[in-house]
Amino acid sequence: MNGAAVTEPATTPDLIAAHGLSEAEYRRAQEVLGRDPNLTELGIFSVMWSEHCSYKSSKKWLKTLPTEAPWVICGPGENAGVIDIGDGQAAVFKMESHNHPSFIEPYQGAATGVGGILRDVFTMGARPVANLSCLRFGHPDHPRTRHLVAGVVAGIGGYGNCVGVPTVGGECTFHESYNGNILVNAMTVGLADADRIFYSTAAGAGNPLVYVGSKTGRDGIHGATMASAEFDETAEERRPTVQVGDPFTEKLLLEACLELMATDAIVAIQDMGAAGLTSSSFEMAGKGGMGVELDLDHVPQRETGMSPYEIMLSESQERMLMVLQRGREDEARRIFEKWELDFAVVGKLTDTGRMVVRMNGEVAADLPIAPLANASPEYDRPWATTAPPEQIPADSMNAPETKDFEGVMDVLQRLLASPDLASKRWVWDQYDHLVMGRTVQRPGGDAAVVRVPGSRKALALSADCTPRYCAAFPRTGGAQAVAESWRNLTAAGARPLAITDCMNFGSPERPEIMGQFVECIEGMRKACLALDFPVVSGNVSFYNETNGAAIQPTPAIGAVGVIDDIESMATIALKGDGNALVLIGECRGHLGASLYLREIAGRSDGAPPPVDLEAERRNGDFVRLQIFDGRVVSCHDVSDGGLLVAAAEMALASATPTGNMLGALLHLEDDLPLHALAFGEDQGRYVLEVDQSEVDALMAAADAVGVPVRRIGRCGGTALTVNGEQTISLFVLRRDHEGWLPSYMAG
C-alpha cells in the first residue's frame, strides 16, 4: 500500500475491509465528508475509529466507573491520570497494553510498550520514577512460551534500564489461554508539581504546531488497527507493523521535554503513540475545538519517498507533537538542539475546525476534526451474562486429592514451585529496579515502594489481577482485582489513592466476551466505590484471541498509594524470633477457582472467593492503622495459594544477605479441613507479625471494631511447621521456589 496521490488505488470494499472499517462505518465516513474519502483520508478514518483509538465498544461501560475523589487532579481522557499526593506534589500514572506487537516480536513489542507508557507520563510534565509490568504468558509447555518470556523480559529491561527508570514490580503468570496471545501491560508512575501539569488541549489560532523527537519512518503503519483485530496463523506476517524502539532517544526526549516544560512556552503537548501524527493532531485539536493546517513536507523523515498516507499513519517511536506559544519557537528549538533531537514547525492551529494536510503543494487530506476525534462510533454491543459457577464446599474434597501428596507441606512445596507462585527473581534481576536510588521496597513484596525525593513520603505501587477468578465469574473477579490491589498497598502501610486499569479481553463482537467485559467493569465499579479508589486512567485491549479462542478476561489493575513517612512502611519479611503471628480476616476455606484446585487437584471449576467489600474495607483500614501505630513488625496480604503460602512467602522473604532465614510454627485449627484452611483463598485477609507484648492490645483493638482476628503461631526456627506435626525446611522450599523459573528458562 504505497498510496502516493498519483497511484492511489480505487476505494473497493476489499480496501475498506483491509482498513478494518465496517460497511456502516464507511457510510458514516462518506456522510462526514460529503464525498468518498481518498486513501489518506480512509487511513485516517481507519485508525481514528479503530477500537484501540476510539474505545467504541467500551466507552458506554467505562463511563460507569468512578473517576472522582477530592485528591484526583485529572481523571481519564488525558495521556495519564493525575492525583494529589500532598505538599504540592502529584503522581501521574497509567498502564497500557502492548499485547499484539509483543506476541509477534517480543523484544521490540515489549520495549516499545514501555517507551509508549513512559511518554504518556512525561508528556504531562512528570518525571517518571517507576515502571511496573503485568505479563501473562501461555502454558510453560507451549513451544513458544520460553522464547516469548525471554524476549519480553529482555525488551522491558532493555528499554527501562537505558532510560533510567526503575522497573520495580508487577506480575508474571502463565495460562494456556494466552498461548496464542500473550499480555504485556506496562505501567509508568511519575512525579510532578501539582500546579505544573501539562495537558493536550490545543488553543490559540496561529500558534505553531511543533514536531520533536525521532524522524518518521515506515515502521508501525497500522499498529492501531492491528491491535484491534484477532490473530490467526498469519500473525507472523504482521511483523513489519511492529515498531522499533530507541530508548536512548527516549531518554533525550524526556530530558528535553522536561527542560522545555520548566518554561511556559508549551500550550499543549501529546505524544505520538498509536496512529502517530494522526491521532496526536486530531486529539489535541479536537479537545480544543480547533483546526489544524499540517504541512507534511516539514515532517522530519527517515526515508525518502514517503506518501502522506505513510507519514500520517507511521508509528515511529520517540516522537511528540506540541502547540507552542507563538514566538517561543527559537527558545524551544535551542533546547531540542542541545539534546540533538529533531525539531520542526509542521503546521499551525486554525479556527476552522478542519484538518487540512498538505504535501508537495497539494491537499492530501481535508477532514472535519470533531466527527473523527470526538464523535467516533459508539456501540452498545450485545452481551451475555456469565452464569454463577457452583460453589465448592470446603469439606467436599478429600485432602490431598491425589496420592502424590502426604500432607499440607507436600502441597505447599508443589505450590511454591508452580509457575504462578514460583519466584520471579529471574525476571526482575534483568530489570534495573534500583536506578534513581529511591527504591525502598524491591520487587517480590506486596507493593513496590519508591521514595519521593526531598520528603519523608513514598509511593506504594502495585499491578495485579487474578484472571482465573475473572474467567469463573467476572463480577467477582473484577471486584477482586481492585480489592487485592488496595490490599497490596495497605499491607505496605500505604493509603491507597487511585488506580489505572488495563482491560484485556477477547473480541467484543462475541456476546459472551462483551459480557465478561461488562461484568468485570461492574465488579470493579462496586469495589472502587466501596474502597474510595477511583480510576484515573486506563486502556482497553480487545480482540485478544487467536482463531476464536479468547484469553481469560484480564482487567489488570495498577494501583498507587502514599506512605506519609517511610519509617512506618511495612514489609513482608519475618523479622523477630518469638514474635506472634496473627491472622486478620475470616477463614471459610474457599477452594473454588483456587490455585490448590488447579495445581493439586487438576481442576479449574468452582466459584471464585466472594469479595465482601465492607469487610475488605474494615479489615484493611484496621491493618493500616496498626502499621501506622507501629504495632506491626511485618505484614502480608493473603491471596493466591492462601494462608500457608502467605506465611511461607513471609518466611522466605526473611532471607538475609548471608542466607539466614526465620521460620514459623503455625497452629491452624478450625472446623474446616486442614487443606481448606491452609490453601483456601478467602479474601480480605492479612498475616501480621506482632511483638508478643503487643498482641493482646492488637486483638482487643480488632475485636472493638468487629475485625476477625486470631493467633496462628509464632516466628522461630528455620522451618515451617503446622500443628507441631507437619514440617518443611525453608531451605528446601527456597530451592524449589527460586529454582523453577531459571531451570524452566534453561530448558
Partner 1 sequence: MRAAVVTFPGSNRDVDVIDALIAVSGQRPGIVWHRDVELPDVDLIVLPGGFSYGDYLRSGAMAARSPILREVSARAEAGVAVLGICNGFQILTEVGLLPGVLMANRNLKFVCRDIHLKVERADTPFTGRYEAGQVIRVPVAHHDGNYFSDADTLARIESEGRVAFRYCTPEGHVEDEINPNGSINGIAGVYNEARNVLGLMPHPEDHVDGAQGCSDGRPMFESLIEHLA
Does 430 participate in binding partner 1 (rule CB under 8 A)?
yes
Does 114 participate in binding partner 1 (rule CB under 8 A)?
no
Which positions ≥6 away from 247 have C-beta within 8 Å?
111, 115, 158, 159, 160, 161, 162, 163
CA within 13 Å, CB half, 620? 26
As measured in angstroms, the least distance from the Cβ of 309 to partner 1 is 31
Among 25, 420, 432, 649, binds partner 1 (CB under 8 A): 432
Determine the interface stretch with partner 1 among 43-51, 242-250, 295-303, 519-527 (rule: CB under 8 A). Answer: 242-250
Query: How many residues in total does the chain contain?
Result: 747
Return d(Cα 282, Cα 719) in angstroms, integer. 61
As measured in angstroms, the least distance from the Cβ of 424 to partner 1 is 13
Does 429 participate in binding partner 1 (rule CB under 8 A)?
yes
Site string for partner 1, 628-657 (x = CB under 8 A): -----------------------------x
Among 439, 466, 626, 721, binds partner 1 (CB under 8 A): 439
Instruction: Respond yes or no: is residue 98 known to be catalytic.
Output: yes
**In this structure, which amino acid lies at residue 233?**
E
Does 340 participate in binding partner 1 (rule CB under 8 A)?
yes
As measured in angstroms, the least distance from the Cβ of 453 to partner 1 is 7
Return d(Cα 268, Cα 289) in angstroms, integer. 13
Q: Which is nearer to partner 1, 360 or 718 (CB)?
A: 718
Neighbours of 21 (CB within 10 A): 22
Return d(Cα 502, Cα 516) in angstroms, integer. 14
Q: Which is nearer to partner 1, 93 or 426 (CB)?
A: 426
Catalytic residue among 52, 433, 636, 737: 52
Cβ proximity of 110 and 102 under 8 Å: yes
Does 435 participate in binding partner 1 (rule CB under 8 A)?
yes
81-82-83 Cα angle (round to 5): 130
Strand 719-722 to strand 664-666: parallel, antiparallel, or no bridges (unpaired)?
A: parallel
Determine the interface stretch with partner 1 among 64-72, 159-167, 377-385, 629-637 (rule: CB under 8 A). Answer: 159-167
Q: Which is nearer to partner 1, 381 or 451 (CB)?
A: 451
Does 485 participate in binding partner 1 (rule CB under 8 A)?
no
Instruction: Respond yes or no: is residue 222 known to be catalytic.
Output: no
3-state secondary structure of 584: strand
As measured in angstroms, the least distance from the Cβ of 154 to partner 1 is 7
Return d(Cα 352, Cα 293) in angstroms, integer. 10
> Can you read off the three cell numbers belonging to residue 324?
507552542
Which positions ≥6 away from 182 have C-beta within 8 Å?
99, 102, 103, 106, 135, 136, 137, 138, 148, 152
Determine the interface stretch with partner 1 among 23-31, 83-91, 249-257, 594-602 (rule: CB under 8 A). Answer: 249-257
Catalytic residue among 19, 98, 175, 675: 98
Return d(Cα 236, Cα 374) in angstroms, integer. 34
Does 492 participate in binding partner 1 (rule CB under 8 A)?
no
Does 157 participate in binding partner 1 (rule CB under 8 A)?
yes
Does 493 participate in binding partner 1 (rule CB under 8 A)?
no
Q: Which is nearer to partner 1, 692 or 718 (CB)?
A: 718
As measured in angstroms, the least distance from the Cβ of 115 to partner 1 is 13
Does 511 participate in binding partner 1 (rule CB under 8 A)?
no
DSSP state of 228: T
Q: What is the dihedral of CA 312, 313, 314, 318, to 10 degrees?
A: 80
Does 428 participate in binding partner 1 (rule CB under 8 A)?
yes
Which positions ≥6 away from 627 have C-beta within 8 Å?
493, 568, 570, 635
Determine the interface stretch with partner 1 among 137-145, 150-158, 589-597, 715-723 (rule: CB under 8 A). Answer: 150-158
* R_g over Cα of the chain: 26
Strand 291-295 to strand 354-359: parallel, antiparallel, or no bridges (unpaired)?
A: parallel
Does 252 participate in binding partner 1 (rule CB under 8 A)?
yes
Q: Which is nearer to partner 1, 66 or 443 (CB)?
A: 443
525-527-533 Cα angle (round to 5): 90
372 alpha-carbon distance from chain centroid: 27
Return d(Cα 596, Cα 9) in angstroms, integer. 58
Does 154 participate in binding partner 1 (rule CB under 8 A)?
yes
Does 62 participate in binding partner 1 (rule CB under 8 A)?
no
Determine the interface stretch with partner 1 among 328-336, 380-388, 437-445, 646-654 (rule: CB under 8 A). Answer: 437-445
Helix, strand, coil: what percent of the chain each, to 5?
A: 40, 25, 40
Q: Which is nearer to partner 1, 428 or 533 (CB)?
A: 428
Cβ proximity of 598 and 688 under 8 Å: no
As measured in angstroms, the least distance from the Cβ of 327 to partner 1 is 27
Does 747 participate in binding partner 1 (rule CB under 8 A)?
no
Q: Which is nearer to partner 1, 235 or 745 (CB)?
A: 745
As measured in angstroms, the least distance from the Cβ of 250 to partner 1 is 10
Does 251 participate in binding partner 1 (rule CB under 8 A)?
yes
Among 98, 287, 424, 433, binds partner 1 (CB under 8 A): 433
As measured in angstroms, the least distance from the Cβ of 573 to partner 1 is 11
DSSP state of 231: B
Does 440 participate in binding partner 1 (rule CB under 8 A)?
yes
Return d(Cα 576, Cα 510) in angstroms, integer. 54
Cβ proximity of 233 and 546 under 8 Å: no
> Can you read off the three cell numbers belonging to residue 660?
539466614
Binders of partner 1 among 655-694, rule CB under 8 A?
Answer: 657-659
Q: Which is nearer to partner 1, 128 or 180 (CB)?
A: 128
The residues carrying an active-site annotation are: 52, 98
What is the contact surface with partner 1 in residues (CB under 8 A)? 154, 157-158, 161-164, 246-249, 251-252, 339-340, 428-437, 439-440, 442, 451, 453, 566, 657-659
